Structure 1
Amino acid sequence: MRTLSPLKTVSVALMLVLGVACSEQESADQAMVRQAVAIEQADECHLCGMIISNFPGPKGENFNKSSDTVNKFCSTRDLFSFVLQPENKRQVKEIYVHDMSKTPWQRPEDEYFIDAREAWFVIGSEKKGAMGKTLASFAQKTDAEVFIKEFGGQLYRFDDITIDVL
């Protein structure tokens, strides 16, 4: 039977402790991920100041890395107009939009918020949002494609949307 030298024993123990500490830190960081919050009747758009619930179409929300507050938007167009600004782009932690395959266009329901970075977007459809033309958002590509067949537009992923595209 082999025995470990005291130096090897301490090294192995130290590696185990560091491994556990790192995995606990990763778990803490993952726990910090926030969820979308309900849009209340009197909530105003962070960008334009309009009452969010007065308008149809998908809405958006974002949390910044340095703040516990949520920014709410009356349309996905306003959301993107805000998060794509150079001074905001690096500060955004989470971004949420409605999955329009699961909620009515006229009054999107808050339980159908999805991670915007994973969503599919349709730009240029005939459907209107708070600021006129808006970005229809979907969790599944197939749902976005069905929407395009009915209402027109072009399909985009989150990272493909720029100020120029808007």
Structure 2
Amino acid sequence: MRNKFIVSFMGLLTIGLVTLLNAAMFQTVPASKAKLLQTGEQKYFCNVCGMNLVMFYKTNYAASVNGQEKQYCSLHCLVEDRDKNHADPQNIKVVAADTLKFIDAKKAYFVVGSSKKGTMSMVSKYAFSSLNAASKFAAKFGGEVTDFNAAIEAAKEDFPKDSHMIGKKQHKMSQMGAMIYEKKCTKIDKTFDSVAKAKAFVVSKKVCKDLNPKELQAVGLYLINR
């Protein structure tokens, strides 16, 4: 019963957080339109970087890794998790930006390099349910229409420079998180092995007061790096 309450509470929080930024980011959708395939208290956060999955829903991926269903905010995080675990993800699905439904990544059409901002990458990679939808998007926002194999090769090619960019941003966020933690949070003596777990703990235990999505991410990064 308690776990159900915590998950429900986090769901309400997610709806509130996403509503605030809904109009600002192309990747974001209303929480009611997002599908979360993973379970547990950290279901709302990317397995690798901890970012809110609803806020970055249009670039979400899901896959089975060592028998566990995982969801990611981006293709970059899927590639990172694969390399970290030395295990190929199975049954890879991606959100089609035109339908907001998960589809088989191998059957999707991708637009790589459009003017729409990417997630965890300087080069955006959006998936679509049909060639027609992908072509219309590319005609409007630029980019190259391709398939999943080419998209993942592009992600692998971009990985070093994207990782460098992400590392710099996360370092600054972690420093900001330290200041927020000192000011707004109850001090805890606990370690975490992922940002998602840290954020889920902060929310479920009400460790901090009145955090917006950026502040919550910053505190999560601080907690795993302190």
Taking structure 2 as the reference length, what is the TM-score of the superposition? 0.45
The match for 1:48 is 49
Alignment RMSD (CA, Å): 2.8
2:124 aligned with 1:127, yes or no? no
User: CA 1:144–1:46 in structure 2 vs 1: closer, same or farther (change >3 Å)?
Assistant: same
Among 58, 75, 93, the residue aligned to 1:96 = 93
Q: Aligned equivalents of 2:89 and 2:50: distance in 1? A: 20
Q: Distance in 1 between matches of 2:81 and 2:127?
A: 17
Q: Are 2:107 and 1:118 aligned?
A: yes
More strand by share: 1
Amino acid across the alignment from 1:47: V
- Quote the offset at 1:39 in angstroms: 6.3
For the pair shown, the structure with the greater C-alpha radius of gyration is: 1
Question: Residue 148 of structure 1: CA displacement?
Answer: 0.2
Once the two structures are TM-superposed, the CA of residue 86 in structure 1 deviates from its matched residue by: 8.2
SS at match of 1:54: coil
**CA distance in 2: counterparts of 1:86 and 1:155, whole angstroms:** 29
Q: Which moved more, 1:153-162 or 1:114-123?
A: 153-162
TM-fit CA distance, 1:116? 0.6
User: What SS is found at the alignment partner of 1:94?
Assistant: strand
CA gap of 1:128–1:145, structure 2 versus 1, over 3 A, is: same
In structure 2, the gaps of 5 or more residues are 1-34, 160-226
Identity among equivalent positions (%) equals 27
> What CA distance in whole angstroms lies between the structure 1 residues aligned with 2:113 and 2:148?
15
What do the CA deviations read for 1:55-79 (whole angstroms, capped 9, x no partner)?
3532111112x31x21111123323
SS at match of 2:46: coil
Distance, in Å, in 1 between the alignment partners of 2:145 and 2:108 is 11
Contact 2:113 2:142 in 1 (8 A): yes
Conserved? CA contact 2:128–2:134, under 8 Å: yes
In structure 2, relative to structure 1, the CA distance for the partners of 1:81 and 1:145 (3 Å cut) is farther
Instruction: Report the number of matched residues.
Output: 119
